[in-house]
Structure 1
């Protein structure tokens, strides 16, 4: 069985990036094989080399590096999640983001402009204040702002009382921000390549050979570029994780959904922060070049198509104009979709599998980009030592048997 999604037209590495890393032929065997050349796979490879000195590693990507969700997300970075487990991994990631440009020796345009999570109802206010207090207990910067204070942070937000969902306040995390997603991927790829790690593109996994004394390990990864033996296998395939798990006979509670986003034409700098709203369900930031970047929740249907649907875009635009009347005449430039893998509790699955040498990283839903360096750090540690790093230990697959869920669906901190 092979993965069923198709790459976008023109799926190849831009010529101006050829000099950043090698394009090697795959070796017959590696100590570690990472499936998935997106942000998480590349970050894991980097930290395997940087933190653990493990460089006999291959990263296999069926298309081109970072051509999946890494290049299709809306680049939001924050750590103001409600539950201790979520806050732990995202805050670790945010601290790494703050020094990542120096670590990679590559510009990532990390801009800490803050994020406002708007509250529109009395229940929103209660949930939001609860989250602010939980954040403070976890050492995360968080504030509760009233409507007038919201207007001071972002003057273009409509805080009028005579709209459908009046703004009653907002949580505010000043350290949150955005980064240039493709630059982040190129920086990780460049450093991994310099360490001697093989980044193998256009190499689709078609199956696995299971061996070991009791059939408890994966010995070979079968690909469109030949069989590759592995000592350890790390799966970082995001929305296509379920197809790989099917090949391994591993049951996991995952569903893949399209997630749409869009950008406007270029505008003068008018939006100083990031604004998110669950009630009207849109989030808006302004990219470095000037376009407005907008997203919402996942599409309700299951699928692997990297394409949008007009009715979702229409709702996003209506919500954005309600919050930001100043954008009413802005023109939509383009829209797209990624494929996100979602779990019942909206938290990731990271850690061991029934196979002794196979480790799984998936289920990040709409929160994968912001976790990139933190996950890469913790997952590399897990792969290197053969046991879950403390930051990701709560996200094991077995929690769906034990009932120890990390229910971000039920929290005020919606995953974006």
Structure 2
């Protein structure tokens, strides 16, 4: 769907959703990273703030990083007020995004079920349900029989290693088609006059007198009034070009899909104890993943034993899948902060902005973080929803600890 001839400017070509312009020598805003977050930010800069002299720079092909490598789960049932606020804002945007973009994104609100396997799991889950309700987020506690009603293929036998004691359920949660989401945002941003420039790697940031003034790229230097970093696992590498050391670690995160199957799995099921999550995609393949590889790496591949453990865990919950065949596996690069929450806001360098540290939860936030990041860039001050996720919280101690939510990739 994306243009096949880099450098060819084809604004009216009927087979193109966006142009492939040559980069201009200067922009009001340069967004580094052409994934979901970067494209959503561009869309909302134009839609909410009227800022259109913008370039989105992507070192590879559009949305070819984590946006193409995630497992598309969307939910907002987070424990802490700060997390619930930004994810619920995103979920509300998801619910109207297809109409807003005038483009199909296949958002399917099939629900997300988080299983509990011990008494401590039950206590933590009920606590999260009550916290969700206080924040206006739909959530309910289900016992084992109700879990079976929502997802009949889950193994709820008491004679297993991790018996299912119940689970939390968010009915408004679900999945969407990740590439369609990227194309919809790109199409909208392009229609507003924003330049989307692929195969353009940023190799340096120009900082003069404590203020960023431009970027150096493989297609030449580009002056910028403001620069917004938005490149997931590589954001720490970019920030270092401006002398900023970020409290991030980058890890591989793997997932896999099965061959196509008839519709058998009606919802998304997650389990921290068994350590896997499984959904069924629109075409019929099973999609599953678990946690990050333990080592730090910038490679988009991981260790085989992680995939092996994912499949073993999935069979504990879903014995019915014992004869399903794996079609393919892949890996992305996730950036994890000390409190497992994102960093979105200002930096010590004037007019340089950060959106990073989403770990395994970036896709579900796509429209919400695009909205608040655009506000932050336009006004040079955080939106109320991303103010708690500032970089300085690691010196003030005002952490938003979501390690419980990130125990299994989500």
* Structure 1 and Structure 2 fold alike (TM over 0.5): yes
Find 2:339's aligned residue among 341, 345, 358.
345
The answer to whether the aligner puts 1:217 opposite 2:223 as a matched pair is no
Q: Which runs of 4+ in 1 moved over 4 A?
A: 12-18, 410-415
Output aligned runs, 1:121-132, within 5 Å.
Answer: 121-132=118-129
Residue equivalent to 2:201: 204
Asked if 2 retains the 8 angstrom alpha-carbon contact of 1:80 and 1:413, the reply is no
How many residue pairs end up in the alignment?
402
Deviation at 1:208, TM superposition (A): 1.5
| 1:48-101 deviation line (CA, Å, top 9, x unaligned) | 000110000000000011000000000000000000000000000000000000
Residue equivalent to 2:10: none
Residue equivalent to 1:9: none
Asked if 2 retains the 8 angstrom alpha-carbon contact of 1:408 and 1:415, the reply is no
Residue equivalent to 1:360: 354
Structure 1 residue matching 2:241: 3-state secondary structure? helix
Deviation at 1:251, TM superposition (A): 1.4
Output aligned runs, 1:248-263, within 5 Å.
Answer: 248-263=242-257
Residue equivalent to 1:144: 141
Output aligned runs, 1:228-377, within 5 Å.
Answer: 228-377=222-371
Deviation at 1:241, TM superposition (A): 0.5
Find 1:187's aligned residue among 175, 184, 188.
184
Deviation at 1:414, TM superposition (A): 5.6
| 1:319-341 deviation line (CA, Å, top 9, x unaligned) | 00000000000000000000000
Q: For the residues of structure 2 that align with 1:241 and 1:209, how far apart are their CA atoms? A: 16
Q: For the residues of structure 2 that align with 1:63 and 1:315, how far apart are their CA atoms? A: 31
The answer to whether the aligner puts 1:160 opposite 2:154 as a matched pair is no
Deviation at 1:204, TM superposition (A): 0.3
> CA, structure 1 residues 286+45, in 2 after alignment: closer, same or farther (shift >3 Å)?
same
RMSD: 1.4
Deviation at 1:36, TM superposition (A): 0.2
Structure 2 residue matching 1:248: 3-state secondary structure? coil
Structure 2 residue matching 1:19: 3-state secondary structure? coil
Asked if 2 retains the 8 angstrom alpha-carbon contact of 1:346 and 1:415, the reply is no
Higher mean C-alpha deviation, range 303-312 or range 375-384:
303-312
Deviation at 1:309, TM superposition (A): 2.1
The answer to whether the aligner puts 1:108 opposite 2:101 as a matched pair is no
Q: For the residues of structure 2 that align with 1:340 and 1:377, how far apart are their CA atoms? A: 21
Q: For the residues of structure 2 that align with 1:318 and 1:34, how far apart are their CA atoms? A: 41
The answer to whether the aligner puts 1:227 opposite 2:221 as a matched pair is yes
Deviation at 1:415, TM superposition (A): 5.6
The unaligned stretches of length 5 or more in structure 2 are: 6-12
Normalising by structure 1, we get a TM-score of 0.95
Asked if 1 retains the 8 angstrom alpha-carbon contact of 2:43 and 2:188, the reply is yes
Q: For the residues of structure 1 that align with 2:137 and 2:356, how far apart are their CA atoms? A: 25
Q: For the residues of structure 1 that align with 2:257 and 2:110, how far apart are their CA atoms? A: 19
Residue equivalent to 2:34: 37
Asked if 1 retains the 8 angstrom alpha-carbon contact of 2:156 and 2:164, the reply is yes
